Amino acid sequence: MPTSVKGVFHYLPWLRIVAIEVKKMAELLKSGATMLSETCPECGTPLFRKGKETFCAKCNKPVVIIQTAEDETRLRTDQVLESSEQILLAKIQEINLALKNENDPEKLMAYGNALSSWLGAIEKLRRLRAQSL
């Protein structure tokens, strides 16, 4: 008998986690979200849609459902544009730090030109991303 009681206690943390997940899903349904027949590719939990957003309640991540090759191309394009923007923003941050301690006019001019170019590139990336949606 003590063995079976010990086994029950072993599963209590897992049961609490499941209960929390089920409660979260119930609250999503109450708030107007729709449970979809598709499941999360990472955890297998049913996906939810609220408005235009599809997401996994367990992973707490947005999920994109790809139905056509065109959807896949659009998604990959958006990912590349987003990645490029993040890289440029990181470089701008690096230059901002370098600018604080720089007094050489030539280096300041080079930094300014780089900033101007990168900001223009970010603007173009954002326009491309808006067009692809």
Residue 63 and residue 65: Cα distance in Å, rounded? 6
| Nearest in space to 53 (alpha carbons), one of 78, 70, 28, 77 | 28
| Nearest in space to 39 (alpha carbons), one of 26, 20, 54, 19 | 54
Q: What totals of helices (H) and strands (E) does the chain contain, helices first?
A: 3, 4
Confidence (pTM) = 0.55
The average pLDDT across 109-130 equals 94
Predicted confidence at residue 88, as pLDDT, reads 96
Residue 114: pLDDT band by 50, 70, 90 thresholds? very high
Residue 107 and residue 5: Cα distance in Å, rounded? 72
Predicted confidence at residue 3, as pLDDT, reads 47
- Number of neighbouring beta carbons within 10 Å of residue 48: 21
Q: Is 115 left (phi over 0), alpha (psi -120 to 50) or beta?
A: alpha
Condensed to tens digits (0 to 9), the pLDDT of residues 40-57 reads 888 888 899 998 889 888
* Residue indicated by tokens 């089920």: 22
